[in-house]
Amino acid sequence: LSALRLKLEQAHHLEEVMKAEDLDKKIEQAGLSRYGHKRALDVLNRARRPEDLKRLLGDKLNRKDAQNILMACKKCGPYGFRHLHEFIKFEIPDWIIDLILRLFGRGSRGEWTSPYETVMDNGVAYHVAHASVLKNGWVLFMPESSTKTTLLWNAANESNAEFEWMINEPDEKLFCAGHAFLSDGRLLVCGGGGGGPSGVDRAYIFNPDGNSWTATGTNMTRARWYPTVVSLADGRKILVASGAPETGTVEIYDEVDDRFDVVTGPDASRSFPQLYPGLHLLPGGEVYYTRTGFASAGPGPGGNYDSLNTNAYFRLTGPTEGEWVEIEDEMEHPYRARGMSVLLFDDKPPLTRVLIVGGGSPPGSETSELSNLSTINPEFGHATNVAGNEGRNNVNVVMLPNGEALTIGGTVDPDVPCALFDPDSLTWREADRVGYRKQYHSVAVLLPSGKVAATGGSNYGGGSNAIEIFSPPYLFTALGVPAARPQITASPDTAQLGHTFDVDSPQAADIDRVVLVRPMSVTHQTDTCQRVIKLGFTRSGNTLTVQALSHHAPAGLAPPGVYMLFLLNGQGVPSVAEFIQLEG
Ligand SMILES: [Cu+2]
């Protein structure tokens, strides 16, 4: 009899081992990272009542199963479940395990990987503080140190590190410069000069055709360290604002005349509490100040804050004349230093919104605020907690082609999850965590692959030289398998604003959205370039005829320049982007 019992026990044990192996396979297939696994167990272990579990697992969960899970959790000891394997012992239904794998796997949280580091050809680590996505798909990095070397990275090569070092370097340090793209995809880089607020008045242009640096025709009219640079609506003028030691003036770079001029007028100057003030070009052509930025220079604790607490906008009133207009109403948390702001556009109301994430101190830095800028009297919304519920400073926000905003880091502890904002439901949800701290001097950019690269801050910001790459949830099915992506088989190099252009795709019948995304050029949580713009289209066979905005579209919606063209299918899966030059 005891032999029989032993046999039964062995059989039972064998069955458990087989079930565990089966589960391990499922865990791997769902892309449940060690961290995702821990988050799943955290949520389960925190549940106290069946209702807590229903919130996670939905109404399909009946009371009996819920109570079984709560009981099983208790039986596992004071820490609750330590591995999903423990579910097997308690015969928790398969559908619950499968649902947990879907909720915490890469199909809903995406996945960070870290293929390699930024190193120079002599093997020395390269510390990044600036990143710009060029029209050839390479990324231009500028250093977080007093070296003049700029680094090019082939973002399309994820398996092997592929870098190029500039043969001709600018003769000034570009660390702490501000930058934005010109209308032909060249990059204008203004001021900086290294690690101190004395600043330089030099400006340079990087040309991705031939990878060359040249000085601008004239210097800036002022020295500027930590300035913000914004492309304006006409595709010819770039606004340069703030930057120490200059306090108030703004100036205009004219890309046709290749010169800088200071902007004049009774209200043409405005001092900002922040260096790198968060500025964005609105569809109407105004430049809006979001109150994000970097406060450290100037008097006062932590920076030269203004007492106004107002937002403001700038508009040109003549070729080199302009004015700042203060906005009376104010944000719930107007102190947003070291937060980041992004524009959200839609083709139905609300048409234009700005999302402000983190910055300042708690309460406030753990939240985001959404302001409706569809009229020039903004409506300020209430602050909403960003998933992770942690204060975020020096946080990165990247707009994805599906219109979601990805928040990365901003916390000392990289264990705090990244967060995805859905502009339709106005809700945040958790995403996979980054591998390394992403704070001061960290950068993140959307790549043509539809993935996001993050790195930087390794010298001063506690960061890492690792290039980390995020595959958003849209690149996977709900079960964590790579999703089939639509392809672009033909698209033009240029398109005229107000006119149509043709794009070929074998999946044309499934295409739900055609979007233009302006490539990012980011440093210090400041990017004025990124914008996601939906285009109308019609379909005939494998060809999409796309409307490059209507004649009536306001000029500031899509300033002339190089864009990434993405097709998205009905499941929201994007193609790899093709670059397209939008001409005014
Ligand atoms: Cu800095």
The mean per-residue pLDDT over the stretch 43-52 comes to: 94
- C-alpha 291 – ligand 1 centre gap (Å): 18
The mean per-residue pLDDT over the stretch 114-128 comes to: 91
| The model's pTM | 0.95
Angle at 228 between CA 225 and CA 230, to 5 degrees: 145
* pLDDT score at 302: 43
- C-alpha 540 – ligand 1 centre gap (Å): 51
β-sheet bridge partners, residue 315: 323
- C-alpha 145 – ligand 1 centre gap (Å): 10
Angle at 360 between CA 359 and CA 362, to 5 degrees: 105
Of the segments 161-165, 167-171, 196-200, 437-441, which one has the largest average pLDDT value? 437-441
- C-alpha 369 – ligand 1 centre gap (Å): 25
- C-alpha 161 – ligand 1 centre gap (Å): 26
Which segments within 505-560 are labelled E, that is strand? 511-517, 521-523, 532-535, 537-540, 543-547
- C-alpha 460 – ligand 1 centre gap (Å): 8
- C-alpha 314 – ligand 1 centre gap (Å): 25
pLDDT category at 304 given cuts 50, 70, 90 is low
Q: What is the dihedral of CA 358, 427, 482, 568, to 10 degrees?
A: -100
Among 8-22, 33-47, 171-185, the minimum mean pLDDT is found in 8-22
- C-alpha 208 – ligand 1 centre gap (Å): 25
The residue type of 246 is E
* pLDDT score at 144: 93
Mean model confidence pLDDT for the chain: 93
Chain position carrying tokens 């030691």 = 245
Of the candidates 441, 446, 485, which has an alpha carbon nearest to the alpha carbon of residue 469?
446
**Could you report the per-residue pLDDT of 392-426, keeping only the tens digit for each?**
999 999 999 999 999 999 999 999 999 999 999 99
- C-alpha 278 – ligand 1 centre gap (Å): 15
- C-alpha 196 – ligand 1 centre gap (Å): 9
- C-alpha 313 – ligand 1 centre gap (Å): 25
- C-alpha 276 – ligand 1 centre gap (Å): 10
* pLDDT score at 457: 95
* pLDDT score at 147: 85
**Could you report the per-residue pLDDT of 242-282, keeping only the tens digit for each?**
998 887 899 999 999 999 999 999 999 998 888 999 999 99
- Residue 306 pLDDT greater than 90, yes or no: no
- Residue 303 pLDDT greater than 50, yes or no: no
* pLDDT score at 301: 41
Q: What is the dihedral of CA 343, 194, 154, 113, to 10 degrees?
A: -70
- C-alpha 123 – ligand 1 centre gap (Å): 24
Of the segments 16-20, 57-61, 445-449, which one has the largest average pLDDT value? 445-449
- C-alpha 441 – ligand 1 centre gap (Å): 6
- C-alpha 472 – ligand 1 centre gap (Å): 28
**Could you report the per-residue pLDDT of 465-496, keeping only the tens digit for each?**
999 999 999 999 999 999 999 999 999 999 99
